[in-house]
Structure 1
C-alpha cells in the first residue's frame, strides 16, 4: 500500500504544491491526497503519513487575540479552514508524523502552539516581503545548529516572499524555535522547527514558498527540504 502525503487545500495556488512533488520523487510507494476543508474529508486525515500545511488567507485573528481590522485584511476569513487544519496539525503532532508548514502554514503552527503573529508587518517591511505582481526575493540567515541548517547545508541563501503577516518572535509557540530570519529590514522570522525534538515528529515550517520559488529544482531551500520531507514520510513505521 502506498504511503500518502496529505496536502491541505488552499484557494491560493494549490496546484503549485501538488506539482512540486514529481512522479519520479513519489515513485511507486508514495501518493498525494488532497485534504479539503471544502469537501470536509476529515476521515482522510487518518490515512496520511505526512502533511503539508499550505499558504493562503490570514488565520482568523480571534484565534490568537489579533485585531479584527488591520492593513491588508482579507475580505473574509475562513474559520472552517482554520478548524480543518487544526485537526490536521493535532493528528500529525500526536502521531509524530512529518509536517511541512508553508507561509500561512508556519504562522498557524505558531498560533496553534499558543504564539501570535503580527497583524501586518508595516509598510517598510511590506516593500520587502508582500507579493506584488511577482513574489519578492531576499536573503535569509540560517540559525547555526538548527535542523534547517542540517538539511540544507547552508548558513544563508535567497528565498521568495509573499506575505504581509509574520510570526511575532516575542510570542513564539510552545517548544518552537526560530531556524531562519530575514537579513534585511527588521529581521522577519523565516522559519520554525521544534526546539525539543526528542519526543516530536519531523517538522519544518517556512515563511517562503518552496513550491513556486525560482530554480526550485536546484535551490536547497526548496529541493533539499522537499527531499528530506519525502524521506521522513518513507521512514514512517519502517
Structure 2
C-alpha cells in the first residue's frame, strides 16, 4: 500500500540583486535575500522557493506555486508611479520592480495568495495604480523616523480583517522604511494604520488573499507579531497545495 504524505506548501519568495564586495567574486552580482524569510516560512510549515528577478516566471509557472511573498529591499523607481526622484531615495532597481509587479499580477490572475513585506507592500500599492510618499517623516511629519534603523512602532488594526485574526487589533511591530503608501488601487483596503495616519497594512477587498504590511514580521520571534502572519499565509497556501504519495499519485488536500 502506498504511503500518503502531504507536501509542504511551495511559497515563492522574491530576492534582490547586490554587488559582491570581496573575495574571488568581487564585482559580480549576487541574488540576495535575508535568511529570516526562509526561517520564518519553514517554521510555519512551508517550503520556500527563491525567485530571482533575472528569471521571469510565466503565468502558468506562477500558478504552480501555493503562495508568493514579495520581500523587503531598496526603494521603488519613482517613475513606476509617475513621479520624479526627489533626491532622498536609495538607488532603485527597475528590473526588480518590473519583475515583482508582473509577479503580483500573475499571482492575482491565478488566485495565488500574496504576502507583501515592507517594499512588498509598496509594490502591491503601485501595481494597483497607487503612489508613494518618497520620504518620511518629511512628507508626514507626525510619523517617526524609521528609515535609519529597525524601529518598534505601534499599529492599530481593523478588527474586521484577516490581519486581526492573525495578530490581534493592536501590535508593536519592527519597522524599517523611509517611504510609505500615499494611495492604492480600489481593489485594496487599508486594515492598519500608525497614529500618524500612515497606512501600515493593506488587504485585497475581494478574491484570493492578499496581505501587505509596512513592517518586517520575519524579524519578530513573538507569535503575535511574527509567526501569526506567516502561519496565516501558509494556511491559505495549504488550500492550494496537493497531497502527494510516494508513488507519485496526487489527491487534493481537504
How far did 1:126 drift? 6.6
Provide the residue aligned with 1:220 in structure 2.
Answer: 224
Tell whether 2:84 aligns with 1:67: yes
CA distance in 1, matches of 2:127, 2:113: 17
Where do residues 43-54 of structure 1 align in structure 2 (5 Å cutoff)?
43=58, 45-54=62-71
CA contact (8 A) 1:143 1:179 kept: yes
What is the CA distance between 1:146 and its match in structure 2?
1.8
Match of 1:139 in 2: 154
Structure 2 residues not aligned, in runs of 5+: 1-6, 18-31, 241-251
Cα–Cα, structure 1 residues 34 and 125, in superposed 2: closer, same or farther, change >3 Å? farther
Larger RCO (CA within 8 A; separation ≥ 6):
2
The equivalent of 1:14 in structure 2 is 34
Instruction: Give 1:182-201 correspondences, 5 Å limit.
Output: 182-183=194-195, 186-195=196-205, 197=206, 200-201=207-208
Structure 2 residue aligned with 1:172? 184
2:40–2:227 CA contact under 8 A, matched in 1: no
* 1:2, distance to aligned residue in structure 2 (A): 5.3
- Give 5+ residue unaligned stretches, structure 1: none
Task: Report Cα offsets for 1:183-236 as digits up to 9, x if no partner.
Answer: 3xx2221100012x2xx11111000000113xx2x2322111111110111111
Contact 2:156–2:192 (8 Å) recurs in 1: yes
Q: Which has the higher strand share?
A: 2
- Number of equivalent positions: 218
Instruction: Give the TM-score, by structure 1 length.
Output: 0.84
In structure 1, distance between residues paired with 2:228 and 2:95: 32
Structure that is richer in helix per residue: 1
Counterpart in the other structure of 2:27: none
Q: What is the RMSD of the two structures over their aligned residues, measured on CA atoms?
A: 2.0
